[in-house]
């Protein structure tokens, strides 16, 4: 008898976010915890699929094209490049720690990672493919078909591709960030300047949204709370409507998922429109529009950036 259980199509990942966490230094930020309960076979299969350009129509774009695991889990572009070299119309969010998000995509239109998979595969400016095509290509690859048989006991289906990719992406947690070390009691893990930056981060109210294990990611917020961000002078793109595109509710206009600040130093350019090229700019914009600081102090911004750099964790092992 095989010692392991074959995962079914109804696999559910218990995620770390559902666990009760101890109170780290009484802070609203808690360390990243390693995901548990993942089937190594599923993760390995998901990793292959994640790097497989055959998921796109012309075989040029894989998930990893825009979510480069060596580059902080995104591509460093304002807008990502899809099939036929077309630019997309939104900034690629990082894939790291994405299982912690309240929902997927900037506008949260996918409730979870499994549902998210269909988005880029069908998006005409991303992979521009469809399941029939993808499954046919997988079916033609004996080795990949064997991997599916080993992980699921059967051939590839759309749901099984989703499950495998979900498993792999769930495994992409960035552990051991210096700030997590400090939260867990290592006073020397971060510099004094970083701690001053953390104090400023709290005093200015950034912490209101950027809290929890992912330092954000777990709620939606309007871009432009204290000041109007989308002013008449700015050219308005469809993606700027944010969550409104998904819900059609007026209160969701310009509302986006608050991004996680984990590994934020690696994931520029920033915001859904990639409009801030570096962290200093991004912090400046946030202080001005979101918390309503009149004249942000540059020295303070620098300290906040030093703090943000301590949120960079280890790139997940065996993912490159």
Partner 1 sequence: MSHHRLASWGPLGVLSGAVLGFAFWSLLDRGVGLETLHNKIDNAAVELRTATKAVQRLASGQAWDYDALTAASKRLRKNAESLRQTLLSYDPDAELVTVDPLAFLLRDIDEIEQFKTDHSVYRNATRAADNALRGLTEAFETESPSTAIDLLPIADTIHRARVLGGVTPGELKEASQELNWVLGQTPGDSPNKAVLASVARYLTTIRDRDAILETVAALDASVAGDCLEIALASVHHALTERSNNDAVRQRIFIVLLVAALTYGGLLINRQRQTAGELATLNAALERRVSERTQDLAAEHHLIESLITAAPNGVFWKDTNGVYLGCNRAYARLVEFDDEESIVGLSDEHLPWEDESRIKKLAIEEELLRSGEAVTNRVAAKRLKSGVQRELVVSKAALTGDDGSITGIVGVYTDVTELNRLRDRVQNGDRLQAVGQLAAGIAHEINTPIQCAAANLTFLRDAVATLLGIAESCQRDHHAEAPTETTRPAADWTRMLERLKQHAPAAIEESDVAIGRVTEIVRAMRVMSHPGTAAKELVDLNTLVESAATISRNRWKYTAELQLDLDPELPLLPVLTNDISQLVLNLIVNAADAITEVRAEDDPLGTIRVATRVESDGVLIEIADNGGGMTPEVKRRMYEQFFTTKEVGKGTGQGLAISHDIVVTKHGGRIECDSELGEGTTFRVWLPMADAPAEPESADERHEAVDDPQDLLAASPGAVY
Dmax of the chain from CA atoms? 68
Q: Does 222 bind partner 1 (CB under 8 A)?
A: yes
Residue 37 touches partner 1, criterion: CB under 8 A: no
Interface with partner 1 (CB under 8 A), residue from 74, 75, 126, 213: 213
Between residues 34 and 146, which has the closer beta carbon with respect to partner 1? 34
Other beta carbons within 10 angstroms of residue 182's beta carbon come to 22
Closest distance between partner 1 and the C-beta of residue 115, in Å? Answer: 10
Structure tokens at 155: 């051939």
Q: Does 18 bind partner 1 (CB under 8 A)?
A: yes
Asked whether position 237 contacts partner 1 by CB under 8 A, the answer is no
Indicate whether 138 belongs to the interface with partner 1 (CB under 8 A).
no
Tokens standing for 201? 């981060």
Q: How many CB atoms lie within 10 A of CB 309?
A: 20
Angle among Cα 132, 136, 140 to the nearest 5 degrees reads: 175
Spatial CA neighbour of 107 closest among 237, 226, 239: 239
**Any idea which residue has 């701690």 for tokens?**
195
225 touches partner 1 (CB under 8 A): yes
Which tokens in the block code for residue 265? 């130093």
Is residue 66 at the binding interface for partner 1, with CB under 8 A as the rule?
no
* Only segment of 35-43, 75-83, 289-297, 311-319 that touches partner 1 (CB under 8 A): 289-297
Using the rule CB under 8 A, give the single segment among 27-35, 56-64, 84-92, 301-309 that binds partner 1. Answer: 27-35
| Contact call for residues 220 and 102 (beta carbons, < 8 A) | yes
What is the 8-class DSSP label of residue 255? E
Q: How many CA atoms lie within 13 A of 175 on its CB side?
A: 9
Reading the block at residue 228, the tokens are 């109007």
Considering only residues 95-114, where is the footprint of partner 1 by CB under 8 A?
A: 102, 111-112
Residue 212 contacts partner 1 per CB under 8 A: yes
Does the active-site annotation cover 126? yes
**Shorter beta-carbon distance to partner 1: residue 187 or 294:** 294
Tell me how far apart the terminal alpha carbons of the chain are, to the nearest angstrom.
34
- Cis ω on the peptide bond leading into residue 72 (within 30° of 0)? no
Nearer to partner 1, 111 or 149 (CB): 111
- Closest to partner 1 by CB, 29 or 38: 29
- 3-state class (DSSP) for residue 83: helix
Report the residue number, 99 or 144, with the smaller CB distance to partner 1.
99
Binding-site residue positions: 63, 66-67, 206, 209-210, 286
Task: Using CB under 8 A, list all residues that contact partner 1.
Answer: 12, 15, 17-18, 21, 28-30, 102, 111-112, 205, 208-209, 211-213, 218-222, 225-226, 251, 255, 291-292, 294
Q: Which residues are catalytic?
A: 126
């Amino acid at each position: 008898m095989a010692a392991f259980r074959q995962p079914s199509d109804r696999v559910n990942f218990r995620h770390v976010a559902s666990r009760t966490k101890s109170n780290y230094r009484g802070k609203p930020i808690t360390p990243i915890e390693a995901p548990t309960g993942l089937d190594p076979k599923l993760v390995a299969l998901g990793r292959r699929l994640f790097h497989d350009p055959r998921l796109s129509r012309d075989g040029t774009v894989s998930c990893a094209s825009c979510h480069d695991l060596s580059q902080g889990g995104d591509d460093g572009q304002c807008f990502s490049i899809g099939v036929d070299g077309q630019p997309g119309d939104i900034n690629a969010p990082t894939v790291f720690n994405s299982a912690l998000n309240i929902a997927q995509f900037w506008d949260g239109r996918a409730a979870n990672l499994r549902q998210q998979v269909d988005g880029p595969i069908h998006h005409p400016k991303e992979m521009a493919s469809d399941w029939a095509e993808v499954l046919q290509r997988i079916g033609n690859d004996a080795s990949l078909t064997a991997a599916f048989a080993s992980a699921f006991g059967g051939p590839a289906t759309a749901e099984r591709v989703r499950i495998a990719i979900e498993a792999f992406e769930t495994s992409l947690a960035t552990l051991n960030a210096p700030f997590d070390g400090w939260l867990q009691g290592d006073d020397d893990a971060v510099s004094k300047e970083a701690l001053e930056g953390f104090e400023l981060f709290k005093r200015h109210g950034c912490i209101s949204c950027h809290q929890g294990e992912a330092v954000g990611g777990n709620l939606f917020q309007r871009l432009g709370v204290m000041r109007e961000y989308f002013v008449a002078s700015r050219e308005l793109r469809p993606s700027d409507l944010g969550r409104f595109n998904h819900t059609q509710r007026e209160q969701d206009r310009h509302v986006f998922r608050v991004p996680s600040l984990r590994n934020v130093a690696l994931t520029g350019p920033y915001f859904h429109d990639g409009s801030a090229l570096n962290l200093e700019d991004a912090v400046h914009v946030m202080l001005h529009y979101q918390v309503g600081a009149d004249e942000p102090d540059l020295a303070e911004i620098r300290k906040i950036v030093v703090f943000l750099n301590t949120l960079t964790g280890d790139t997940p092992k065996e993912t490159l």
